[in-house]
Amino acid sequence: MGVPVSGKNFFPSNIQGLPTWYEIRVNGEGYVGRSGAVDVMVAMNSATYARDLAEVSPGGVLIYDSTWPRDLELARRDIEILGVPLARMCNEHFKSARTRILMKNMAYVGALAALLALDRKVIEQLVAETFKSKQALIESNLEAIELGFKYASEHFECPLPTRVEPLDKTRGHIMIDGNTAAALGCVYAGATVGAWYPITPSTSLMDAFKGFCERFRKDPKTGEKLYCIVQAEDELAAIGIVLGASWNGARAFTPTSGPGLSLMNEFLGFAYYAELPAVVFDVQRVGPSTGMPTRTQQADILSAAFASHGDTKHVLLFPSDPRECFELAIQAFDLAERLQTPVIVLSDLDIGMNDWMCKDLEWDPAYRPDRGKVLSAEQLEGIGAFHRYVDVDGDGIPYRTLPGVHPKGAYFVRGSGHNQLGLYTEDSVEYQQVVDRLTKKWRTAAQLVPKPIVRRAAKTAKWGLIGVGSSEGAIREALDRLAPSGIQVDYCRIRAYPFGDEVAEFVEQHQRIFVVEQNRDAQLKSLLTIELGCAPERLHSILQYGGLPIDCRCVVETLEQAAARGEAA
């Protein structure tokens, strides 16, 4: 129908049996974040009925299965409550017990179609696509939709004032989840080795990579694979496999989540010091510890930035939606090989597992991977001697060689103290020479990583707002809502760590900076303070960390309150 939508699945950490919710954001403006309001609720689960009822915004609509009587105490006057006898209708119409249960879900779709003026042709087409290999199911599903549609049409005034009007705003857009998009990015980047240990919410990334590889990387005649996926025994091994592969010149990656990243710490520090490329996708979930595996947070920022002991820091990338998961996945491989260091892509459950509407993914056929400074056999033949950690070009990035290429290229990869020739050392001067060059490389990294995206307010703004990742949708919507009331805020969306000059300038330009993030301890704010050396009192946190994707209300309310206190200069 051409209407922008995005869906969010709220589900508990179990296999089956517990209640789940699916929230669909529908709006003409194309906002993808949560609005914080519920206009239409379909309450299908008696166990959560009271809660579902309470969540409907005043003036909203609740649709429930009226087959059985409701507890009369559970009523509200400020919303419209519509009962549809879904179970009864399905029991009367369908024979098998299983069909009767399953078809309730399609019957309410029919009721919604009548109430919200949804185009039935579109629904029918989707049913046909979904069950194209099972003709019998198409019939029963369409019958169930008809039951609901008919009941609603006969019993209620259809359509409701809250209804869906066709638009033409989805052309050039797709619905995709971030893990699928990131996996596609890995395929297009030319990754050949994937290692992983299953962990929610990152598992679907490797599942998707496998699916794409089956399709694009398998010889149709011989069945030979141009990829190797290893399901490791744990995350310690998964990152080890990535390092072993990248040491040998393959593009290799591992998807994981917080607990897995914790286990990878030792090897991540090794890779930082021995200067090996690696790409890690951390699809963040709620911590600390096991936390809430099926809920979202941005709480691994600090642990990813400084993963491992000793003076260690890592390049981080922050995609804000699936499209950026695709693009930044490719950049992650380029940066990891250019900089010879791990790059951690910090996605989260909201981006990774939910369907987002975003612009079509595009591919530039001119793209070629940046393999960084790798000496070929010919180049090695032509030089006197190869020294692994010498800063030949002055950018802090040394040259590397791959095993098996040329006798002159042999060197020892080690996590123990080494000098710039790659030899073991315990000499203070030699040791410092190498770690100081790593600092120089870090400055080079700051020039190479994706720049932040700065959105200026219509008028000159003294307030600035900084956010990362999946907060993007909520922040944009919040700023749009605030602008008419005169609250002007510039917005800087950080896309990488190290932050680079643009972020430092943004902070300098504003009297007051609000930092929006989805964790308790204001980790991004801490990192900004550490890296930019700015006064902590200039940065103010807006935090949402309960495990549900951030909605725009928390941003709107904080800024409104600050404005009311006259803090806007």
Partner 1 sequence: MTSIAKPKIVHPGLKRNALGLTTRDYEGSMSTLCAGCGHDSITAAIVQAFFELDIAPHAVAKMSGIGCSSKTPAYFLSASHGFNAVHGRMPSIATGANAANRGLYLLGVSGDGDSLSIGVGQFMHALRRNLDMVYIIENNGVYGLTKGQFSASADVGSKAKRGEVNKQPPIDPVQVALALGGTFVARSFSGDKDQLVPLIKAGVRHRGFALIDVLSPCVTFNDHEDSTKSYAHAREFNHPVIDADFVMPAEEIRAAYDEGDVLPVVLHDGSRVLLRKVDKDFKIGSRADTIEYLSTHQRDGEIVTGLLYVNEGEPDLHEVNGTTATPLSQVPYDALCPGADALAALQKRFR
Of residues 169 through 198, those in contact with partner 1 by CB under 8 A are: 170, 173-176, 184, 187-188, 190, 192-193, 195
Is 39 in a helix, a strand, or coil?
Answer: coil
The Cα–Cα gap between 179 and 551 comes to 21
CB of 407 to partner 1, least distance (A): 4
Q: Are 243 and 341 in contact (CB under 8 A)?
A: no
Q: How near is the Cβ of 458 to partner 1 at its closest, in Å? A: 34
Write down the least CB distance from residue 371 to partner 1, Å.
9
SS3 label, residue 41: strand
The CB-side HSE value for 500 (13 A sphere, CA atoms) comes to: 20
Tell me the pairing of strands 453-455 and 489-494.
antiparallel
Q: Least distance (Å) from partner 1 to the CB of residue 552? A: 26
What is the CA angle 529-477-36, rounded to 5? 100
Using CB under 8 A, which residues numbered 425 to 444 contact partner 1? 426
492, 452 in Cβ contact below 8 A? yes
Positions in 152-171 near partner 1 (CB under 8 A): 170
Six token digits for residue 66: 């009226």
Which one, 48 or 170, has the nearer CB to partner 1? 170
Tell the smallest beta-carbon distance from residue 495 to partner 1 (Å).
22
Residue closer to partner 1 (CB basis): 149 or 356: 356
Cα–Cα distances in angstroms (integers) from residue 271 to residues 204, 239, 307, 373, in the given order: 26, 10, 11, 16
* From candidates 82, 106, 205, 245, binder to partner 1 by CB under 8 A: 245
444-503 residues near partner 1, rule: CB under 8 A: none
* Contacts to partner 1 from residues 504-543, by CB under 8 A: none
Q: Which residues inside 334-363 make contact with partner 1, applying CB under 8 A?
A: 360-363
CB of 315 to partner 1, least distance (A): 20
Considering the complex, state which of residue 90 and residue 264 has its C-beta at the smaller distance from partner 1. Answer: 264
Q: How far is it, in rounded angstroms, from Cα 379 to Cα 340? A: 19
Shortest Cβ 231–partner 1 spacing (Å): 10
Task: Report if residue 547 touches partner 1, rule: CB under 8 A.
Answer: no
- Rounded (10°) CA dihedral 129, 65, 89, 131: 10
Per rule CB under 8 A, is residue 85 in the interface with partner 1? no
- C-alpha closest to that of 326 among 131, 519, 180, 430: 180
Q: What are phi and psi of 194, to 5 degrees?
A: -120, 130
Q: Which is nearer to partner 1, 68 or 412 (CB)?
A: 412
Residue 454: CB minimum distance to partner 1, A? 29
257 is a contact residue toward partner 1 (CB under 8 A): no
Per-residue x/- marks for partner 1, 269-298, CB under 8 A?
-x----------------------------
Which window, 50-58, 334-342, 408-416, 560-568, contacts partner 1 (CB under 8 A)?
408-416
> Segment contacting partner 1 (CB under 8 A): 67-75, 228-236, 293-301, 444-452?
228-236
Of positions 33, 409, 450, 498, contacts partner 1 by CB under 8 A? 409
Tokens of 239: 């990152």
For partner 1, the binding residue among 60, 249, 255, 467 (CB under 8 A) is 249
> How far is Cα 297 from Cα 317, in angstroms, rounded to an integer?
16
Nearest distance in Å: CB 39, partner 1: 25
Please select the residue that binds partner 1; options are 423, 504, 530, 563, rule is CB under 8 A. Answer: 423
412 interacts with partner 1 by CB under 8 A: yes
- Token digits of residue 527: 């990192």
The least distance separating partner 1 from the CB of residue 314, rounded to whole angstroms, comes to 16
In sequence order, which ranges of 248-318 are alpha helices (DSSP H)? 258-274, 301-305
The answer to whether the CB of 183 falls within 8 A of the CB of 191 is no
> Which stretch, 56-64, 87-95, 243-251, 439-447, contacts partner 1 (CB under 8 A)?
243-251
Tell me the residue ranges of DSSP E strands in 220-339: 228-231, 252-256, 278-284, 315-317
Tell me phi and psi for residue 488, to 5 degrees.
-100, 125
Task: Give me the residues paired with residue 398 across strands.
Answer: none
Buried b (16+ CB within 10 A) or exposed e, 184-222: bbbbbbebbbbbbbebbbbbbbbbbbbebbeeeeeeeee
**Which range in 109-117, 418-426, 456-464, 503-511 contacts partner 1 by CB under 8 A?**
418-426
Which residues 364-393 are close enough to bind partner 1 by CB under 8 A? 364-365, 367-369
Identify residues 202-221 at the interface with partner 1 (CB under 8 A).
212, 216-217, 219
The single residue among 156, 197, 209, 247 that binds partner 1, judged by CB under 8 A, is: 247
Radius of gyration (C-alpha) of the chain in whole angstroms? 27
Q: How many residues are given for the chain?
A: 569
